[in-house]
Every structure is written in structure tokens, then in C-alpha cells.
A and B are shown apart, each in its own frame.
Chain A
Amino acid sequence: MSSEVINTKRSKKQAAGPYGSVGKAINELDDRLGVAKGGRTFMDKIFPDHWSFMLGEIALYSFVVLLVTGVFLSLYYIPSTALVTYHGSYLPLDGQRVTEAFASTVNLSFAVRAGLLMRQMHHWACDIFVGSIVVHMARVFFTGAFRKPRELNWTIGTTLLILAIANGFLGYSLPDDLVSGTGIRIAYSIILSIPLVGSYLAFWVFGGNFPGTTVIPRFFVLHVLIIPLIIIGLVGAHLFLLVRQKHTQFPGKGRTEKNVVGTPMFPVFMAKTTGFLFVVSGVIALLGAFAQINPIWQFGPYTASRISYAVQPDWYMGFLDGALRIWPSWSFHSFGYTIPFEVFIPAVLLPGLLFNIAYVWPALERKFTNDHALHNLLDRPSDRPKRTAAGVAVLTLLGMLFIASSTDVIANFFRLPLNEVLWAMRILCIVSPFIAYPIAYLICKEVQVVKGGGKRKTANIVTRTSEGEYVATPAPKYADDEHQELDPTPVPTYIIETPEETGTGGVRTAPR
């Protein structure tokens, strides 16, 4: 009697049954929804071990942070260009006529608890989101992970990058401050520069002439609803294809085109990836707390008559701004029309060309290498010197264009004449990709012949003999370095399959 009362642990265990309380709950779920079969496949999903396979997760988790902080911000932000008189806690703006969008952004920064932290986290998360997409894309490109059968996922990924950049720009524009207003003005001009349809398109997007009153509400709906929904859908498709097609892996012992060697989803990978979610949100929270970003209260509200110098867009739009800055003023005036090539080429043709090359690259590579085989094993970047060099050249061009977006800052910081900085950037943007290509190509060729390249380094143990001589001996290998072929965990046999019922006249039955 008394022993039963004291030993609660055992009694609880007995009450839970042979599978434990968690197992019992899952069994209940399985009885109703049949989660066992799919769940087992999901938990046994194999993820190959390589640090570079975690890069996409930075993007995924910073997107989660974007969603959470974005929902918080949308509770306080008012997407309206109606003019109000600001009477808030930031005194230098007191009494100024500002739009409701601007006033609500300043208010959520100063008067809402944790509002500024949320806004800064949202902005930093966006910078990191786009940055990690680019890094992830570079990994996929340089290792050849986009090859057959994964071209569709490459296409989805490229679309995600474009959407992320577009949504970043839209969100940057929402506070309606002096700096972002300038950005909207530039975007309006870029749309105008498209031959034939430009002015119609600009009026369609802005609901009339610049600045108008509809642009902020429209950008808001696009930013918080339409584009995030498309991004979520495409991320789902991206991950579904990843699971469906299984992950790529680097060549190694026991790794073939037909298998995947790595750790299962549960428990190892799940622990790793959940931890990584917290690390990503932690880094973003630290940046949001300690590094100021976009202090709109200093910029003040946007009105079309005001402009500030030294205005740049966020970094992911920097290459467009840089191209616009350094492009010479080529425009044609005839028959009463102006074709502003100085805007159209750098701001419309250049990004169009870059993203289209990204889209068709897998097809181009198939055509030029005549390689139509399935590839589940990754390339080492040095084994494909031409592809690697091409990627490096494009990244160099983009980097140079990004630097060109701050010609004035460089000129001012280093006390150089602005015109010469502009000219230097023009020449560097054209010349540097052609220099980067052969250098990257030669480095790849050199790395190819390095002995033991790509293998994990083993340490040398340096010992000093009594005579004073130093002797280096290689350290013993880690046990894990050797490939171990483990027997797969036996699948439990308690799933009893019911015999199929045979259909009767005209009624078809399908097995569950």
C-alpha cells in the first residue's frame, strides 16, 4: 500500500504503458492521422555533414526573425501619407508637418517599449537575410549543386533572392523618411526610363505622378502581405524539393551518387538546427541592441523639395546605385522623345541581364559541357576552374559596383577628388572582372595539384629532444576521420498492415 504511494515514478511509468507518455501520445496521433509512416521517413532523413550546408539555414532563420519582428512593427505602423503635426517625444521634430507613416515609425521607435529594438532587429535581419541568400547561392554555384536534377530548385532560389531584394527595398521605403524618399524617387525614375512603356508603368505603379499619396499604402500591402506570401510559398517549395531530391554531398569514403551519408534528422540534426535558429536570432538581437541602423529621426520626413547628400540604399541595392552613379550620361533625344540610356542600361538592363544569366546558367552549363547526367556528388570549386572563375568574376563586378555606390563617401573619407574616384571606379568595374577571372582560374589549377587538398588537416606534434632538436610527428588520426559503415537502425515491426479489401462491382478502393 505504502510502497505504491511512495514510488510515484514507477506508477506513472506503468500508467503510461509500454511506449512511455510521449510514445503513447504519438500512438494516439498515429491511430487518427497515420503519422507513423511519414514521420519515420522524416525523422530518418539524412543530412550530410558539412558546415557550408548550414548557410541556407541562416537565410531561413533570419526570415523567421523578419516575420516575428515584422508582425510586431505592423501593429504600430500606419501606412498613410496623410499629413499630421508631430507632437512626440523626439523634440527636434516637434510641430513639424509629417506623414502618418513617418510619425508612426518615429513613435514606434521612441514611445513603444522595445519598439526601436524590434525595428533595428528587423532591419539587421533583412541585411543578413539577403546576405546569407547570396552566400548560400555562391556555395550552391561553386560546388555545382544546381546541376541536374536540381535546376528547378536553383530557379526557385534565384527568384527568392530577387523577391528578398525587392521586399527589402519596399520595407526600407515605408518609414517615408528623407533618405528612403530619395530611394523611391530614384525607383520612379528607373521605371520611367524604360522605353515606350516607362511612363505608363510608372503611373500604374505609383497611381499617378511622383510622389502621390498611394505609394506608401501600396508598398505596405506588397511588403507585408503579397511578397512575404510568395516568399513563404517558394521557401516551402524550396525545402520540399530539398527533401524530395535528397541533399547533395561532397565526395568521400562511402559516398556515392546513389546514397546520402550523414546524420539523421532526429535527434542530431534537429538539435543542431534548432540551436542554430537561436544563434541566428541571438546575433540579430545583439546587432539590433548595440548597432544603430537607419536613424530616421535624424533624417526627418521626406518632402519632394528636400534632399540629403551622401544617400545610399541598403547594401543589396548598392550595386544598382553604383552602376547608376558611374554610368556616363548617354541619352538620346529625337522626335520629341528622350531615351535615357544612362538610367535604362545600368538600372534595368544590367540587373535584368545578371539575374537572367543566373536563371539560365544550369542550362548553359549543360549545353557547353554536354553533361546531362544526374549529379548528387558536389564538385570541389577548384575542380571546375572555368565555372569558379566565372563566378568570381561576376562577384568581383558586383563588389566593385557596390563600392561605386559610395564614391562620395570614399572621396570624403580619404580626401580624394570625387571625379577621380568616379573615374577609378568606372575603370575598376570594367577591368577587375577580367583580372579576377584568370587569377581565380590559375588558383584553381594550382589547388588541383596540391596533395591532400580538401582533406582534413592532421596536426603535427612538435617535440624537443634533450639535444635541443625539434622533431615533428603527425598526430594520431581521430577515430571519426575514418569512415564507419554502421548498420541502419532496424525499423520497428509493429506496424501491422491490413490486407487490402477487394472492391465490389464498380467501386474502387485505394489502400491507405
Chain B
Amino acid sequence: MTSTYLKRAAIFSFTALMGLGPLVLFADHVGASSSHAGYQTTRKNSGTPNSTYVKVDPKTGVVIAYGDSAITYNAPSSKLDTLGRALFLENCASCHGTEANGVPANGTSGSFPDLVGLGPATIDFWVDSGRMPAADVRAVQAIRHQPRLNQSQALAIAAWVNSLDPSYPSIPTPHLKDANVSDGAALFALNCAACHTIEGDGDALASDTFAPSLRDIPAFEVVEAIRTGPANMPRFTGNLSDDQVRDIVAYVTTEIQHPNNPGGFGLGGLGPVAEGFVGLLVGVGLLILIAYWVGERQ
């Protein structure tokens, strides 16, 4: 009698050990929370742009436009400075400080990014894509949402921040007419698909960070993102020429955003998991229902 109880207890404890034992090995990982250090920022990018065409303002000596036949970069007009400062004080200064140096008030530590010298494209990208002003300043990664400031207001802020320390990259305009979409596809697979997925849908990365979807972005924002490297994204400068960036942008804005995609419903671009669910629930499920229908003689 007791031996069977012992046996049962042994089997039970063995099962529990095998089932729950491995949890012990994870114990020191549990509760390790991530420390929120604020948004990651882009490195400063001063100096002279390495371009074939550089246009300098004769009065101030500041570079106002540069680039080549693939992409031209234009610095925002200095006439917008005053408006930009007003908009900055109203929308940005509570975190980034009145001097845009990431120090909101005396005595605060710089947990917010210093914006001076980041270049107009960086400021324009964050504001124009609706990521700034931030919806939740404690979030690890800002989420793209409906922009609070319109395009010219974003340019004005970029103009004022740029006036503090003129730097690069400026606001890009890609010329997609001569782009090679095929080269763009290959470059996209090599440089972008590892995070944004090959279909451009984006995906979750490490804790609380993600690569956003590329399905609905204007062409110049794609250039800004590639050239400035917002948040976790690496900044592509030397390793991609303006021609190559233009090709990638052409691929993103044509084949990713408007794919030539025969074969029926795309199932949300979620890949084999969605396909598996459809195959099992619709395919096998429907056939089981039909088997139920024809299988029994009524």
C-alpha cells in the first residue's frame, strides 16, 4: 500500500521537476527590468558635405544646398528662424530646453537629447513623421502618429535649430525618375530587410523597440531616415551613395508601397504563420465540415 503511494509521489515529483525545474534556471533573469534612458539620438554631423554640387550663401558663407542628380539637399530658409523658435518653445522646449541642448531647466541632467548640430533632416524627420512631440516621453521608442505640426512648421523648427549650429544632412529631395528599382530591391534586401522585413512591414526588435512599417511614408522621409538613422536605426552615410539611396527609395515607394502582387489576398503579409492558420482553419476546417456533411448517411 505505502509502496504505491511512494511510487505515485515519486512519479509526481519527477514530473513536476521535469516540467517546472527548468524555470529555476531562468530565476535570475526574472524581474530584470530595462532602464529607460530616453530616446537614442543621432550623432552630430558637422563639416562640409561631400557632394559634387555645393551652393553657399554668399552673404553668410553657410551651405544652403548640395547634392547631385540623384538627391538634392536644401537647408531650410533662414527666414523661418523666428517662427521656428516660437514653435520650438511652444512644443519642444519642455523637454529639450529653450536652447535645444537637452537641458529643460537649471540643475536637470541631460536625459533628453541635445539637438544642436544634428542637421535639419533629423529635426524634420522626427517632427514631420509625427513622432515628436512625443506621445509618451517614457516610452523607449517613439511611435509614429498623426503629426501635430504640419510640414512647414516642421521645417521652421528645423531651420531654427539648424541656425544654432549649421550642420548636415539638410532636407533631401530624391529625384526618382532615373532610379533603378532592381538595384534598389537588391540593396533593400541587403541593408533594410534584416529589421524592416523583406516586405517592408516592420517587426518587433528587442525589448520595447521595433522597426516601423514602410508602407505609408513619403519618399523624402525614407531618405531622411537612411541618412540620419533615427532611434535604433543605423545611419547609412559612407556605405550608401546618393544613387543607391535613391534606388532604395524608389523600390520602397513603388514595389513596397504599391506592390505588383498577383496570387490573391495577401493575408496581411504576415507570412507562413497566417498561411498556416488559413490552411488549417479554412482548408482543413472546411474539408472537415464537408466530411461531416457527406460522411454520414442520414
User: A454 in the interface, Cβ–Cβ < 8 Å?
Assistant: no
Selected interface stretch from A331-339, A374-382, A401-409: A401-409
Residue from B198, B203, B204 whose CB has the most chain A CB atoms within 10 Å: B204
Minimum CB–CB distance from B20 to chain A (whole Å) comes to 7
Q: How far is the CA of A148 from the CA of B176 in the complex (A)?
A: 71
B194 and A307 contact, CB distance less than 8 A: yes
A32-80 at interface with B (beta carbon < 8 Å): 49-55, 57-58
With the chains together, A135 CA to B210 CA distance in Å? Answer: 37
Contacting residues, chain B, for A110 (C-beta < 8 A): 262
Contact B263 A310 (CB under 8 A): no
Q: Assess the A127–B283 pair: CB atoms within 8 A.
A: yes
- Report the separation of the CA atoms of residues A305 and B278 in the bound assembly, to the nearest whole angstrom: 32
| B191 (CB) vs chain A CBs: closest residue | A306
In the bound complex, how far is the Cα of B277 from the Cα of A95, in angstroms?
A: 36
Check if A54 sits within 8 Å of B294, measured CB to CB.
yes
Bitwise, B243-273 to A at CB < 8 A (1) or not (0) is: 0000000010011000111111111001111
Q: How far is the CA of A412 from the CA of B196 in the complex (A)?
A: 11
Smallest beta-carbon distance B182→chain A, Å: 5
Q: Which listed residue (B196, B197, B282, B296) contacts A287, Cβ 8 A?
A: B282
CB distance from B239 to the nearest CB of A (A): 13
Question: B284 contacts A131, CB within 8 Å?
Answer: yes
Q: Kindly list chain B residues whose C-beta atoms are within 8 Å of the C-beta of A23.
A: none
Choose among A132, A293, A300 the residue that contacts B263 (Cβ–Cβ < 8 A): A293
For residue A294, CB closer than 8 A to chain B, the reply is yes
Indicate if the CB atoms of B276 and A402 lie closer than 8 Å.
yes
**Separation of A420 and B287 alpha carbons in the complex (Å):** 37
Report Cα–Cα, A280/B287, bound state, in Å.
7
Do A418 and B287 touch (CB < 8 A)?
no
Chain A, residue nearest B198 (CB): A308
A290 CB-CB contact with B under 8 Å: yes
How far apart are the CA atoms of A66 and B131 in the complex, in Å? Answer: 49
Decide if B20 touches A430 in the complex (CB within 8 Å). Answer: yes
A433–chain B nearest beta-carbon distance, Å = 8
Closest residue of chain B to A98 (Cβ to Cβ) is B186
Q: Which of A422-456 contact B (CB under 8 A)?
A: 423, 426-427, 430-431, 433-434
Interchain CA distance A94-B255 in the complex, whole Å: 13
Closest chain-A Cβ to B291's Cβ sits at a distance in Å of: 4
A291 and B282 alpha carbons, distance in the complex (Å): 11
What's the Cα separation between A268 and B297 when bound, in Å?
Answer: 10
> Contacting chain B: which of A158-166, A312-320, A360-368, A468-476?
A312-320
Is A311 located at the chain interface by the 8 A CB criterion?
Answer: yes
Once the chains bind, are A418 and B206 in contact (CB under 8 Å)?
A: yes
Interface residues of B, dominant DSSP: helix
**B279/A128 in contact, CB under 8 A:** yes
When distances are taken between beta carbons in the complex, the residues of chain B under 8 Å from A299 are 198-199
CA gap between A415 and B296 in the complex, in Å: 46
Q: How far is the CA of A302 from the CA of B292 in the complex (A)?
A: 43
* Contact pattern, A 386-420, Cβ under 8 Å of B = 1, otherwise 0: 00000000000000001001101101110111111
Contact of A272 with B275 in the complex, beta carbons under 8 Å? no
The answer to whether A254 has its CB under 8 Å from any CB of chain B is no
Expressed in whole angstroms, the Cα–Cα distance for A315 and B282 within the complex equals 14
Distance between Cα atoms of A420 and B34 in the complex (Å): 11
- A420 near B207 with CB under 8 A, answer yes
* Residues on the A chain within 8 Å of B210, using CB: 411-412, 415, 418
In the complex with contacts A127-B279, A311-B271, A328-B26, A120-B284 CB distance below 8 A: no
A contact residues, total (Cβ < 8 Å): 86
**Among candidates B196, B261, B276, residue contacting A127 with C-beta atoms closer than 8 Å:** B276
CB <8 Å contact, B288 and A127: no
Decide if B291 touches A287 in the complex (CB within 8 Å).
no
Asked whether any CB of chain A lies closer than 8 Å to the CB of B290, the reply is: yes
Minimum CB–CB distance from A379 to chain B (whole Å) comes to 19
Judged by a CB distance under 8 angstroms, whether A124 is at the interface is: yes
Q: Are A287 and B283 in contact (CB under 8 A)?
A: yes
Q: When the two chains form their complex, are residues A275 and B272 in contact, meaning their CB atoms are under 8 A apart?
A: no
Task: State in angstroms the CA–CA spacing of A110 and B262 once bound together.
Answer: 9
Complex contacts, A494 vs chain B, CB 8 Å: none
Query: Which residue of the partner chain, among B190, B197, B288, contacts A305 with CB atoms under 8 Å?
Result: B190
Q: Is B19 on the interface with A (CB-CB < 8 A)? A: yes
- B16 and chain A: residue at smallest CB distance: A434
Q: Which of A122-162 contact B (CB under 8 A)?
A: 124, 127-128, 131-132, 135
Shortest beta-carbon distance from A464 to chain B in Å: 28
A318 near B272 (CB under 8 angstroms)? yes
B193 within 8 A of A: yes
CB pair B276–A283 under 8 Å, yes or no, is no
- Say yes or no: is A279 at the interface (Cβ < 8 Å to chain B): yes
Bound Cα distance A268, B186 (Å):
58
Complex Cα–Cα for A109 and B264 (A): 13
What CA separation (Å) do A310 and B199 show in the bound complex? Answer: 10
Query: In the bound complex, do residue B279 and residue A315 qualify as a contact, i.e. CB atoms below 8 Å apart?
Result: yes
A261 to chain B, nearest CB (A): 11
Q: With A50-B296, A291-B278, A412-B210 in contact, is A276–B181 under 8 Å at CB?
A: no
Closest to B265 in A: A291
Given contacts A314-B272, A315-B272, A417-B207, contact A306 B290 (CB under 8 A): no
B211 adjacent to A309 (CB under 8 Å)? yes
Give the docked Cα–Cα distance between A50 and B193 (Å): 50
Q: How far is the CA of A49 from the CA of B298 in the complex (A)?
A: 10
In the complex, what's the smallest C-beta–C-beta distance from A188 to chain B, in angstroms? Answer: 19
How long is the Cα–Cα vector from A398 to B264 in the complex, in angstroms? 30
Using CB atoms, name the residue of chain B closest to A262: B297
Interface residues of B in 85-143 (CB under 8 A from A): 143
CA–CA, A309 and B195, complex, Å: 5
Nearest to B206 among chain A residues (CB) is A418
Q: Which residues of A contact B23 (CB under 8 A)?
A: 427, 430
Nearest first, the 10 A-B pairs at minimum CB distance are A315-B276, A51-B295, A127-B279, A411-B204, A308-B198, A292-B263, A54-B291, A131-B284, A308-B193, A412-B204
> What are 17 A-B residue pairs whose CB atoms fall within 8 Å in the complex?
A52-B291, A57-B291, A90-B260, A91-B260, A120-B263, A120-B264, A128-B279, A131-B283, A287-B282, A290-B265, A298-B198, A308-B194, A309-B197, A314-B272, A409-B271, A417-B208, A478-B298
